[in-house]
């Protein structure tokens, strides 16, 4: 579907575009030719569930151009084809959509400064695959260590079917390969704070000049640099999305019994387990545990599986407050004041900032 063309409105000002950034109470919408600063109809910013985002970066929207100054009004959000989301760290039972309509998730890990735990990589892989989006692993900062420090893990992921790129925003290693992999895609860069997402994007697309900062010298953690989710056009075709660094990535809408399906190496061995619904934990005759003992599956991979599985709990069902005491207007049907609407939207678009999550190292 072409989401960047001009619509057939009688006055020629009805357009289709993609939300590139959300700030304050306005959206930056890219129609494929230029960026429009758009407000949204109140019906689009009101959500029946407190804390849920009605608009997110990557959404395709119908909007009406309102003047010659590049301004407009968003009239409609088109159906989302995909999304990258997580469970909100500050609200149990709520989903936080990070970006919509992506075709690829580039999971950025770093060799050092900071170290990237395999569990976080696996969480992103699971989130991407559960949304039917292709994950790709990019191991950055390879200039900080010899290949022996990172190749064993990278080659294991490659061996079970994932695309892996070894890169360095400093030395230029892997940048051409990464640029080619992103051509024609809508790719979101995701990962821990300080792993160098913005630095890689600057290397892939010179001229963007995304802000980067070195990690803290004492703690080795990333600084609070990237605070907005931003979608940008690529010169070679497609889009790239920069995101704030994540310190916590809780999986959304998954149960413990779902997790083995997303570990390809475990799933392939599952048919050989003595128990049909083997959880690969305490059961006897488990083919996965036998493979670990034989050295076919590394211990770090199994430890990641155990931690991820333990962290997943059944999602809570949202308890609707639409019906209260007799005679009251249900909350879902009450119209918020203009001030309340603005405050709600500000809270929605500042999720990452309020979370205290930051980015990026320039090494």
Report the C-alpha gap between 190 and 83 in whole angstroms: 13
pLDDT, residue 323, reads 29
- Confidence at residue 220, expressed as pLDDT on a 0 to 100 scale: 44
Q: Please give the residue that has the higher pLDDT: either 50 or 272.
A: 272
In the sheet with 239-242, reading across from the earlier edge strand, the strands are 163-166, 134-140, 104-110, 186-191, 239-242, 230-233
Per-residue pLDDT reduced to its tens digit, 54-91: 899 999 999 999 877 889 999 999 999 999 999 887 77
Select the more confidently predicted residue: 152 or 113. 152
Which of the two residues, 127 and 113, has the higher pLDDT score? Answer: 127
pLDDT of 186 strictly over 80 = yes
Confidence of residue 214 (pLDDT cuts 50, 70, 90): low
Q: Are 105 and 124 in contact (CB under 8 A)?
A: yes
Distance between CA atoms of residues 187 and 200, nearest Å: 13
Among residues 304, 269, 258, 333, the alpha carbon closest in space to that of 116 is found at: 304
pLDDT at 126 over 50: yes
Q: What pLDDT is stored for residue 226 in this prediction?
A: 53
Q: What domains sit in the chain, N to C, each tagged with a CATH number? A: 14-77 (2.40.50.140), 83-242 (3.40.50.300), 256-311 (1.10.40.50)
Give per-residue burial for 89-116: e unless 16+ CB within 10 Å, then b: beeebbbbbbbbbbbbbbbbbbbbbbeb
pLDDT at 356: 44
Q: Which of 116-130, 218-232, 300-314 has the lowest mean pLDDT?
A: 218-232
Average pLDDT, the chain: 81
User: In the prediction, which pLDDT does 36 show?
Assistant: 95
Q: Are 21 and 229 in contact (CB under 8 A)?
A: yes
pLDDT at position 60, please? 97
pLDDT-derived band at 112 (thresholds 50, 70, 90) equals confident
The distance in angstroms from the start CA to the end CA of the chain is: 38
CA dist 173 and 317 (Å) reads 46
pLDDT over 90 (residue 222): no
**Which of the four pLDDT bands, split at 50, 70 and 90, describes residue 93?**
confident
pTM of the entire predicted model: 0.79
Quick check: 2 pLDDT over 50? Answer: no
Question: Rounded mean pLDDT of 303-326?
Answer: 62
pLDDT at position 138 is 97
């Amino acid at each position: 579907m072409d989401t960047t063309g001009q619509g057939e409105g009688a006055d020629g000002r009805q357009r289709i575009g993609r939300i590139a950034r959300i700030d304050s109470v306005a959206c930056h919408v890219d129609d494929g030719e230029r960026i429009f600063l758009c407000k949204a109809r109140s019906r689009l910013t009101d959500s029946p569930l407190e804390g849920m985002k009605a608009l997110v970066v990557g959404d395709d929207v119908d909007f009406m151009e309102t003047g010659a100054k590049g301004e407009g009004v968003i009239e409609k959000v088109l159906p989302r084809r995909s999304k990258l989301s997580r469970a909100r760290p500050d609200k149990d039972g709520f989903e936080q959509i990070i970006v919509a309509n992506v075709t690829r998730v580039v999971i950025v890990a770093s060799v050092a400064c900071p170290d990237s735990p395999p569990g976080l990589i696996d969480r992103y892989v699971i989130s991407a695959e559960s949304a039917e989006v292709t994950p790709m692993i990019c191991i950055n900062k390879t200039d900080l260590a010899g290949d022996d420090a990172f190749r064993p893990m990278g080659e294991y992921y490659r061996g079970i079917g994932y695309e892996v790129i070894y890169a360095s925003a400093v030395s230029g290693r892997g940048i051409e390969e990464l640029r080619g992999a992103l051509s024609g895609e809508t790719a979101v860069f995701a990962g821990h704070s300080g792993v160098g997402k913005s630095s890689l994007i600057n290397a892939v697309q010179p001229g963007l000049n995304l802000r980067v900062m070195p990690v803290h010298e004492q703690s080795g953690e990333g600084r609070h640099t990237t605070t907005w989710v931003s979608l940008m056009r690529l010169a070679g075709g497609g889009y790239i999305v920069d995101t704030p660094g994540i310190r916590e990535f809780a999986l959304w809408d998954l149960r413990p019994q779902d997790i083995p399906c997303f570990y390809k190496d475990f799933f392939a061995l599952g048919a050989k387990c003595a128990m049909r619904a083997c959880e690969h934990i305490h059961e006897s005759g488990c083919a996965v545990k036998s493979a670990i003992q034989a050295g076919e599956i590394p211990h770090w991979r199994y430890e990641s599986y155990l931690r991820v599985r333990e962290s997943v709990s059944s999602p809570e069902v949202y308890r609707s407050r639409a019906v209260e005491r007799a005679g009251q207007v249900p909350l879902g049907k009450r119209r918020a004041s203009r001030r309340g609407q603005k405050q709600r939207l500000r809270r929605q678009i500042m999720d990452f900032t309020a979370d205290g999550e930051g980015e990026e190292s320039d090494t």
